[in-house]
């Protein structure tokens, strides 16, 4: 009996990510969910700009490449073109979603667009070589903050889930991580719910995945997972930040 194998929706090609980069795990979780829900054939994914810019090569469903940060806007168009048929997800990093694409993200959430957003937060710009991102932690050393992020000068990191949870619009917001087997299982559950919400027509669902970047953090893959636990999670606490259906059921 096969206990674990590559999901069908994930293309059988080598990925360009650095050794130990958790993008590979998150790609696989999305693909597993597409398999389990049986929606690969009618799913259209929107790839971002950033490390995961070539995500269109790694999924077997249809994919579109969006301009930097504009994935939720492209997803809106695709979804509205045929809302009953298409399942639309975006896969975006923090430099894409929380920086240049913040406006698109906030407005897609405020409109409660019926799309699924997978937001990979690794607190750094990976593809361009490790510059400070809107989500870099206070004091974090990056290429453009060599003495650590000074919040007096650079401002504070943005907590996307908390910020969006203040809006009336979004249906579901959850923050998960993939630094251990237990957390990977929880992350998959959240991603599955985000797609299930879209199938049921509930609206905007965003799953923020706290991820690692061993190369640009300057650590081994193991130390990077430990750094998530010790540094990232205290600033970015895991949990469900909005689940409108559950909230309405309680009232």
Partner 1 sequence: MAKLTFKTDRCKGCGLCVDACPKGLLRLAADTINKKGHHPAEITDEAACVGCASCALMCPDCVIKVER
Residues that bind partner 1 (CB under 8 A): 1-6, 10, 14-15, 17-25, 28, 181, 184-185, 214, 220-222, 225
Residue 105 φ/ψ region, left for φ over 0, alpha for ψ in the -120 to 50 degree band, beta for the rest:
alpha
* Inter-residue contact 230 to 160 (CB < 8 Å): no
Structure tokens at 85: 């048929």
* Inter-residue contact 100 to 125 (CB < 8 Å): no
Q: How near is the Cβ of 251 to partner 1 at its closest, in Å? A: 37
For residue 134, give the nearest of 162, 110, 101 by alpha carbon: 101
Please identify, using beta-carbon distances, which residue of 80 and 185 lies nearer to partner 1: 185
Please identify, using beta-carbon distances, which residue of 204 and 227 lies nearer to partner 1: 227
Q: How near is the Cβ of 211 to partner 1 at its closest, in Å? A: 10
Please identify, using beta-carbon distances, which residue of 11 and 233 lies nearer to partner 1: 11
Please identify, using beta-carbon distances, which residue of 17 and 195 lies nearer to partner 1: 17
Structure tokens at 24: 């590979």
Q: How near is the Cβ of 223 to partner 1 at its closest, in Å? A: 11
Q: How near is the Cβ of 178 to partner 1 at its closest, in Å? A: 9
Which H or E element spans position 227? helix 221-227
């Amino acid at each position: 009996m096969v206990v674990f194998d590559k999901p069908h929706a994930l293309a059988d090609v080598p990925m360009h990510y650095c050794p130990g980069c958790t993008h590979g795990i998150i790609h696989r979780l999305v693909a597993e969910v597409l398999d389990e829900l049986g929606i690969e054939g009618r799913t259209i994914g929107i790839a971002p700009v950033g490390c995961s810019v070539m995500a269109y090569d790694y999924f077997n469903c249809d994919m579109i490449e969006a301009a930097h940060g504009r994935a939720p806007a492209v997803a809106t168009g695709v979804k509205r073109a045929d809302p009953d048929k298409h399942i639309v997800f975006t896969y975006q990093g923090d430099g894409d979603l929380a920086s240049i694409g913040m406006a698109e993200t906030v407005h897609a959430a405020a409109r409660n667009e019926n799309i699924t957003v997978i937001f990979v937060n690794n607190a750094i710009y990976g593809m361009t070589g490790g510059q400070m991102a809107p989500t870099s932690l206070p004091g974090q050393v990056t290429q453009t903050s060599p003495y650590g992020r000074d919040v007096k000068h650079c401002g504070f990191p943005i907590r996307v889930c908390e910020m969006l949870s203040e809006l009336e619009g979004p249906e579901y917001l959850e923050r998960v991580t993939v630094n251990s087997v237990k957390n990977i299982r929880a992350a998959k559950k959240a991603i599955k719910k985000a797609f299930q919400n879209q199938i049921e027509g509930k609206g905007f669902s965003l799953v923020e995945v706290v991820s690692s970047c061993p190369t640009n953090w300057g650590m081994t893959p193991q130390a990077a997972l430990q750094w998530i636990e010790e540094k990232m999670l205290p600033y970015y606490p895991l949990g469900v930040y909005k689940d409108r259906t559950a909230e309405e059921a309680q009232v």
